[in-house]
Amino acid sequence: MDKEEGKLELDELLMERYELARDRIREIPGEKAVPEPFAGFFEKQALFLIKTTEILERTEDDLSLEEWQQENRFLYEDILPDNYADSYANPAAAVRMLGAYGRTFAFTACELRGAVAFAYEKRWWDMTVLLELFLQLYGEFCGEEIPSEKTVRKIIESYISDYAQEMIDYRVREQVDPELDFAVRIIMDSDLTDLRYLYRFGEYISENEYRTAEFLNSLSQEEIDAMASTYTEGYRKGFENGRKDLRKKKTVDIRYNLGFERMIRAAVLQFEDMGLRPVIFRHAPHIVNRRNQRRNGFTGGYANPQYDYDHRQDSALFLTEEFAVHKKRALQNAYEKVKELAKVHAGPAVVETFGETPFVPAACEDSILFTTEQQKLNVRTDNDTTQIINRYIPGDERSFTIIAYPLPQIGGQYEEIFRDIVRINTLDYEKYQKIQQTMIDTLDSCEWVEVKGRGDNETDLLIHLHPLEKPDKQTNFENCLADVNIPLGEVFTTPMMAGTGGLLHVQKVYLSGLEFRDLRLVFDCGQVIEYSCANFESEEENRKYIEDNILFHHPRIAMGEFAIGTNTAAYVCGRKYGIEDRMPILIAEKTGPHFAVGDTCYSWEEDRAVYNPDGKEIIARDNEISEMRKDDVSLAYFGCHTDITIPYDELGSISVIRDDGDMVPIIENGRFVLPGTEELNIPLDNM
């Protein structure tokens, strides 16, 4: 049997499995084979799966706009906020309705939701194994005796273990293989003036995605091309400034929020002029490929952020030492299969969005959560995963860029805000380079920097900088302009841990879409030793919130970055429209000093020389933690990097401390006072 005949036989076998599973599920609604309280779960999920199989089998997508919208609503209505209180996908509701089985069934409902992605992308294998999982569970509950919750869990664990290799194979391949072009074809081939195209992705389409596409359609092609050019040129400059050879690369990973297709289409054409083909993949549908509630890939709207938050640690259902080894082996195998594609992959180009109503999660005690041992295992597994990826897509050969735009939900002045953000994203490169170099020259004259808050902000930090052995050729701070990190406007360094300490206090800050109130982090020897916030009534809940979303369960975590933001125009924009609380960290970090907890900005690339535009080498690429990679790489990285910004209006002073004890202020009372930096105050003066 030749290869093509073998593939045909496998395809026929798969279709036979699929049709058997589909036909059986179509019989379930109306059956009385499963006793209460479980019958409602199986009937509801069966109706959902029947709809997804109809979409999978559909060969024509000539629906009216109203029909597309009705279909989209049906697929996501179960988890929308108005319905979530009674959804089986809500762990609290599932436990209320199903008792001890509730958490496992909520997990199952979440995994079954992957059928939406599989239906639109015509992923027959993924749909088949999902249908078979559902039928296996259904069959257990049709028997004379109700299976134990442990039996249900074992079925799910077997499903994940048995198919992990195939699930990871596809996930890895879709991140480097331009031939998997489901999203690219929609972007490049659709009539983007006909907004029905948005629904062909299968993502939740909220008013944000729809109105964004409408607004971009109102812009001229020249404006669209300019937006795309800022984004693609930033990517190219990242390679140029990092002294990396873009000519060796053939693909670029584009990640964005739906609604920006006109800009993404222009960017695809510009990237192709650089010799790069796009890979555009969806955020992961399978639990085995997900990490917390973060979405990595293209996405539509968040139907319900609380749903994503409640399922952020669902992998705790099956995470064991044995499975962690299995997953790492599967990832290694997956990359080995596509190693030639991985070798020529250039890295991600990301379009972030902001403006949604700030989300403050409610604690759900019925969510599946990691045990202490699982938390440690998860951290180790993430670090091992990063090492595997870095072997096939080396950090010193790839780059990235990130840019952000507002969504319509930001408010009634959306279009004015959008245009202001475009202006902020294209500020004068050369002017900021000169101003920031003046600041760096002063910072390089000392080893210590003091940062203090004012008013109700109690920040009091001492930062220890690396000694410069050759100050004429070396620098501590990177002069950050508009390349990998758009907009421009910061100087940053990796502090030494020894001697770095004190209190970092922010009255309100949003990190990865989550609000933190009265956040306090105490540092000693460069590491967080105490922490608190005021989000919840109990101290225990507040500490757990920080451990889950800032510390990521590391017993100690380092200050990996100290930076001074210089983009006063962005700060004023936030104040002008009252959107400071909705600014993404990408922009917010430029509006004051910020401190990142976790890895340094140079993680996995510490041994590669980096230079500023003035030719000086940035030598502060390591700290005492990252240096441990030379002996044991598993001890050197945290797998996270979370920026926390003190806004100018909460900032008392930033001063360098000279060897003789004299202090030279850079900022006082929220104003730049260092000679040569005063121009940064002009936007503040005009506020």
- pLDDT for res 411: 87
Exposed e or buried b for every residue in 335-354, given b needs 16+ CB within 10 A?
beebeebbebbbbbbbbbbb
Q: Quick one: three-class SS letters along 84-95?
A: HCCCCCCHHHHH
Mean predicted confidence (pLDDT) in 86-110: 98
Q: What percent of the chain has pLDDT over 70?
A: 98
Residues near 202 by Cβ (< 8 Å), separated by ≥ 6? 55, 75, 116, 117, 119, 120, 121
pLDDT tens digits along 427-455: 888 899 999 999 999 999 999 999 999 99
Residue 584 is predicted with a pLDDT of 85
Phi then psi for residue 500, to 5 deg, are -80, 125
Angle of helix 221-241 relative to helix 261-273, nearest 10 degrees, comes to 50
First to last CA, the chain: 75
Task: Please report the pLDDT score of residue 6 as a whole number.
Answer: 53
CA-to-CA distance for 585 and 568, rounded, in angstroms? Answer: 15
Any idea what DSSP says for residue 550? I
Residues 137 and 149 sit within 8 Å (Cβ to Cβ): no
For residues 374 and 378, what is the distance between their CA atoms, to the nearest angstrom?
Answer: 6
Mean pLDDT of 602-609: 86
Across 527-533, average pLDDT: 97
Distances from the Cα of 360 to the Cα of 305, 357, 453, angstroms: 9, 10, 25
pLDDT of residue 160: 97
- Average of pLDDT values for 487-503? 95
Bridge partner list, 464? 448, 496
Report strand pairing: 514-524 vs 496-511.
antiparallel
**Single pTM value for the model:** 0.89
What pLDDT does residue 4 have? 57
Judged against a pLDDT cut of 80, whether residue 10 lies above it is answered with no
What is residue 7's predicted lDDT score, i.e. its pLDDT?
56
Give the pLDDT confidence of 405-424 residue by residue, as tens digits. 999 999 889 999 999 999 99
Closest CA relative to residue 188, chosen from 268, 298, 252, 250: 268
pLDDT of residue 1: 46
d(CA 399, CA 639): 17
Whether pLDDT at 618 is above 50:
yes
The pLDDT, as a whole number, for residue 93 is: 98
Average pLDDT, the chain: 93
In this predicted structure, what is the pLDDT of residue 603?
A: 87
Domain parsing of the chain, residue ranges? 3-162, 428-685
